[in-house]
Chain A
Amino acid sequence: MGNPVQRPLPDIEDPLYQAHFQGLKDQQLRVQQCDACGQLQWPPRDLCKQCHGDRFHWPVMPDQAVVYTYSVVYRAPHPWFKEHLPYAIVVAELENGLRLLGNAFGADVEKIQCGVRVKAHFQHDEDSGVCFLRWVPTTS
């Protein structure tokens, strides 16, 4: 075939996720907030878990977080990730308790631990037009 392996891609037009993916392109972390009661929720859902409202807006969250949990992967579950081994999957918790999942790549991934402070980086992929979230440890 000769085609390079494509990274698994999200559906950035999915109505429930579109604002989030546009946010990543704009270098912003946007999550779902209920118009009626103000509940923040992640992952996005059709109904507000608190009041069952179905209208939402997408406020920007701070880009600082703390590692809640993580995974360091040594055997790729998909061919695209083979050349990035080992890579980390990082679930980072914002101050308001929401947790967003992103990657960490590079030499330092084995140093990732619960409680480590991280900052959001936004990695734009020209070919797919998708921007991916990376969590990068901060030194302070």
Chain B
Amino acid sequence: MSGYQPDTAAIAGIGETEYTRGTDKSGLQLLMEASLKACADAGIESDAVDGLVMTSRVGTNEDFVAGLGITDLKFHAHIKIGGASPVAGLHLACHAVASGIAERVLVSAGRNAYSSMRLGATDSGPRVVWPGDDIRRNLEYPYGMIAPMQWYSLHANRWFHETNASREGMATVALNTRRHAHLNPRAWFRDRPMSREDYDASPMLVTPFKLLDVCLETDGAAAILVTRADAARRAGGKPPVYVAATAEGHPDSPDDLSNRPDILGMGIGKAAPRALDIAGIRLDELDFAEIYDCFTFIVLRQLEEIGFCQRGEAPDFVANGRIALGGELPLNTHGGLLSQAHISGMNHVVEAVRQLRGDAGQAQVAGAHLGLVTGYGDFGDGAIAILHN
């Protein structure tokens, strides 16, 4: 048993900075800006935040206390599972408010990845500290296995080998996501078209990933404020978005892909049944899904491991407009990490809230009632949230 009753917690506020390439602001400034907006959106004073879940490399609880003027911080945590951290942060925040440790928990994510790369970093080595640092330094970096697209290609190439999955699926995800970005004024690629010819012509970086299979680097931050659902209703702001269930999951040997017995196994495959069970829903009841998309292929793999279809079938599942706005399961309606911005997936949570408030503008899913959000990070860690209005 999870100990979490569906709809105990709610997302009461969301906040985002502008998503840019190039900024004078520090990562911490971006985080504070998004956090203040989330508080304002929830209709609470920032000094009343009493819980913090941080998912970025920048920012400590002390920074947030000072920056937001928090008077009585009762709880904080820092989650480090890469792109699964924001949804895992939502998971933790929900349990924190449900248990009563804290009442108003801010979950934040952000980076000035684009600007910091341009200003300080070089291409002479890895910028991110990965799990299993000894394994990386001794057995992988010397062999040129240094960047995320290289690790994930090991998973992708084995997937193609074992399942004979269609190569079309990755293109479908790339093109669908870009079309959705055109509906979103906040998306970095809102005005940049992508044709099938553009996709096919984009350079191969690492088999099987072309440049247009890989997410953006951007500057920006996003935050959400989580409270108990009854408190969110009393606050009288926007209608709360209810958290039916959350879960996180980790693959076997989470610090090592090469010797994972089943390299196709992912944390989301363990987390999804737990979340569906707590929420008491079936996948075919979902109105939309915001699926972590650092690479096109990882969207396909998550759909399979969640259980929308069998392994190798996701390219067929996403075909024929099923994941387009107006289709059976509109997917990444904001443009995702591929075409909106790389805010470690917190932008996926924000978009789900907008959809469930009816605030998604041109990308609004008609009658959106029940939505799914996922996170994916490091070597296959996963997190999932089921939200409704």
Task: Give A contacts to B, CB under 8 Å.
Answer: 5, 7-11, 14, 16-17, 42-43, 68-81, 84, 87, 89, 91, 98-103, 113-115, 130, 132-133
Contact = CB atoms under 8 A, between A and B. Distances in A.
Contacts of B207: 70-72, 74
Given A10-B137, A71-B150, A76 B144 contact: yes
Interface string B139-152: 11111111100100
Nearest to A92: B258
Contact of B142 (A7, A68, A75, A91): A7
B154 A91 contact: yes
Contacts of A69: 154-155, 157-158, 161, 258, 263
Contacts, number: 111
B150 A89 contact: yes
8 contacts: A10-B141, A16-B134, A69-B161, A74-B206, A74-B207, A79-B124, A80-B144, A100-B258
A101 B124 contact: no
B147 A77 contact: yes
Interface in B148-190: 150, 153-155, 157-158, 161
Contacts of B320: none
B133 to A, nearest CB: 11
Nearest to A89: B145
Q: How large is the interface on B (under 10, 10 to 19, 20 to 34, 35 or more residues)?
A: 20 to 34
Nearest to A113: B161
B203 interface: yes
Contacts of B135: 43
B236 to A, nearest CB: 51
Contacts of B144: 8, 73, 76-78, 80-81, 84, 87, 89, 103
Contact of B206 (A10, A72, A103, A133): A72
